[in-house]
Amino acid sequence: MNTHDHASNKRPGTLAELRQSGWQSKTVKQELQDNFIHALTEKQTLYPGILGYDDTVIPEINLALIAGHDMLFLGEKGQAKSKLMRMLSLFLDEVVPYLDVPGCVVHEDPYHPITGIAQDFVASHAEEEIPIAWWSREDRYAERLAPGTKFADVIGEIDPAKLAGGVSMSTEEALHFGLIPRMHRGIFAMNELPELDELVQVGLFNMLEERDVQIRGFPVRFEVDLLLLFSANPATYNRSGKVIPQLKDRIGTVIHTHYPRERELGINIMQQESNMDLDGDYPVIVPYFINEVLEQITICARKSKFVDHESGVSARFSIANYRTVVASARQRAILLQEKPAVARLSDLGHIYSSALGKLELDMMGSHQMSEKQVLDALIAEAVGIVFEEYVEAHGLAEIGEIFSKGVKIEVGDLLPSSHYSERLQRVPPIWDKAFELNASDNDAMRASCVEFVLAGLYSQNRISRGQQHGQIEYEFE
């Protein structure tokens, strides 16, 4: 691994000093391969924070790095494609040297410059006079979203200002370089590849495979050194004509991402990525069954006939809903001075704000249902599924004994926990085993448990429910 001391004054400052230091030039793929193999040998954490891909996605990425392949990350939205692409920059050297040539926007390899301006500068100066600067790992990664991207953005364009200054249009100096030449010796990622204009795809292919491209009729030939990454949704990538065959053929490895295979893993991702502090002045406890319901809503959405499967349902759907539920519980803690606040199902009444817009309806399957109606159905289905699991584990008989005939219980996100205690003097013994806090002793946990059981019984058509003024009332008939 090429490493240099953090202190810039200890790094070589001229080409002569760089040669004396013993620094070796490498292609970006060789650099990534060497550093990856070193990390693998040292048993370092390769992809920190990536969950659920140990046996599927990560082995494919590892092999692609060793093979020196460009990669396409193929999967639906919210499957950590962009996060994984950005992480590959961790396998770059901390810094690399480049020729600090006036007027040159390309980070040139000091030993192998590719632009005319850098080549001329090196040819006309002694190595002691050629300055060297250093390019950091973080700056060697760039990404672009395909929709709206023009040829000039990624390849280049004739610069009118340079022409006005007297530069001939037939020279390299007349060009304004796009992202690809500027990322020479780095990593370039293009998100949503099938949405990239065909003309740009051709320019991309020529630049990377043939090493030449025509900008307004002027042929440019560069030995651009890049790791190229793409992301795409399978539905559009596999559609005929969306990606030119030559570009598809050049991609060395296609990596298929996926949603979490188990609900527990989805919950772990939701909690990790939400980055919510549950402590502080107004602490919040989120019972595990609330986490289960939140993730189950996402699972149900991914299977729902009302939701567009080609688009998918992102992990951001779960994350945003989790943050909203925690925020609702914290608001209750502040207004009612309940510490700690315990999240309840009634807090899910606020997830419309975070969920709507993240579901794309299947217009054929939704039968003109609104997004809110679809979400209501998904919440009800998720509550029913999770409640069934608890009933199977702990039985329903004891719960039934507690709720006597004719009882009415009102629930709501801003009702004090004591309200629930007054209506329900005792709780089934199984609740103390099933939930994190002792529901017999803790009013806030009791309130959360009561709401869960009521919603579950309603999902089984065992009780009726009415709603008015934002409050819900369950009735045992």
Residue 434's pLDDT band, with cuts at 50, 70 and 90, is low
135 plus 221 within the same structural domain: yes
Number of domains making up the chain: 2
Q: How large is the average pLDDT for residues 39-51?
A: 95
Residue 254: in which H helix or E strand, if any? strand 253-256
Alpha helices by DSSP H, 395-442: 397-402, 417-423, 429-434
**3 state DSSP class of 341:** strand
Among the residue ranges 95-99, 343-347, 377-381, 457-461, the one predicted with the least confidence is 457-461
Provide, rounded to the nearest whole percent, the portion of the chain with pLDDT above 90: 51
47 near 58, Cβ under 8 Å? yes
Whether the pLDDT of residue 1 is over 70: the answer is no
238: left (phi over 0), alpha (psi -120 to 50) or beta: alpha
237 plus 360 within the same structural domain: no
270 plus 252 within the same structural domain: no
Last residue of a domain, one of 256, 291, 307: 256
Confidence at residue 361, expressed as pLDDT on a 0 to 100 scale: 81
Return the structure tokens found at 210. Answer: 């043939």
- Residue 266: CB atoms within 10 Å: 23
Last residue of a domain, one of 222, 256, 290: 256
Please enumerate in sequence order all residues whose Cβ is within 8 A of that of 17, keeping only pairs 6 or more positions apart, or say none: 132
307 plus 160 within the same structural domain: no
- Per residue in 215-263, pLDDT (tens digit) is 666 666 778 899 999 999 998 898 878 899 888 888 999 999 999 999 9
62 plus 202 within the same structural domain: yes
Please enumerate in sequence order all residues whose Cβ is within 8 A of that of 201, keeping only pairs 6 or more positions apart, or say none: 243, 244, 247
Q: How large is the average pLDDT for residues 326-351?
A: 92
Q: How large is the average pLDDT for residues 127-146?
A: 95
- Per residue in 165-190, pLDDT (tens digit) is 555 545 556 577 888 888 999 999 99
238 plus 276 within the same structural domain: no
Give 466 or 434, the one with higher predicted confidence: 466
Confidence at residue 168, expressed as pLDDT on a 0 to 100 scale: 52
Q: Which stretches does DSSP call E strand in 115-181?
A: 132-136, 141-145, 156-158, 175-177
465 backbone dihedrals φ, ψ, rounded to 5°: -140, 140
174 near 163, Cβ under 8 Å? yes
200 plus 314 within the same structural domain: no
Confidence at residue 5, expressed as pLDDT on a 0 to 100 scale: 46
Give 399 or 461, the one with higher predicted confidence: 461
Last residue of a domain, one of 256, 275, 295: 256
49: left (phi over 0), alpha (psi -120 to 50) or beta: left
Give 179 or 59, the one with higher predicted confidence: 59
Return the structure tokens found at 310. Answer: 């080609």
Return the structure tokens found at 406. Answer: 């004719």
d(CA 106, CA 113): 9
In a domain, 3, yes or no: no
The top-scoring range by mean pLDDT among 198-202, 252-256, 432-436 is 252-256
The top-scoring range by mean pLDDT among 49-58, 414-423, 459-468 is 49-58
The top-scoring range by mean pLDDT among 138-152, 239-253, 359-373, 426-440 is 138-152
Q: How large is the average pLDDT for residues 306-324?
A: 90
Q: Is 48 exposed, middle or buried (0-12, 13-18, 19+ CB in 10 A)?
A: exposed
Give 187 or 9, the one with higher predicted confidence: 187
Return the structure tokens found at 44. Answer: 């370092």
Q: Domain residues for 400?
A: 265-475
354 plus 232 within the same structural domain: no
Whether the pLDDT of residue 324 is over 50: the answer is yes
Mean pLDDT score of the chain? 85
| Domain CATH code at residue 109 | 3.40.50.300
- β 141-145/341-342 pair status: unpaired
d(CA 83, CA 88): 9
Alpha helices by DSSP H, 165-214: 179-182, 198-205
The top-scoring range by mean pLDDT among 4-18, 149-163, 283-297 is 283-297
